[in-house]
Amino acid sequence: MNINIVKEELSKNIGRRVQITEYGMRNKENNYYGILYKIYNNIFTIQTNDVEKSFSLADLIIGDIVITYY
């Protein structure tokens, strides 16, 4: 998967509600709920309550995080 394709897909969905599932070490899984907020060169952000949380586009490509749109 190409990073430009990922950016294009994310930019189509700015403002939508998302769930980010982050897979970590030792089968740890974190879920974040918010609104897809901004896209930068190597990261994207979501707005959760009053906090802006950032994630790497590379993590999305390799599958360490998964986005579910609502």
Contact 22, 65 (CB under 8 A): yes
Asked if the model's pLDDT at residue 56 lies above 80, the reply is yes
Q: What is the rounded average pLDDT of the residues 6-13? A: 94
Q: What is the rounded average pLDDT of the residues 27-56? A: 94
Asked if the model's pLDDT at residue 36 lies above 80, the reply is yes
For domain 3-69, the CATH class is: mainly beta
Provide the pLDDT for residue 45: 97
Q: What is the DSSP string of 2-69?
A: -HHHHHHHHHHTTTSEEEEEEE-GGG-EEEEEEEEEEE-SSEEEEEETTEEEEEEHHHHHHTSEEEEE
Provide the pLDDT for residue 50: 87
Asked if the model's pLDDT at residue 1 lies above 80, the reply is no
Provide the pLDDT for residue 27: 86
Contacts 24+ apart (CB under 8 A), 40-44: 44/10
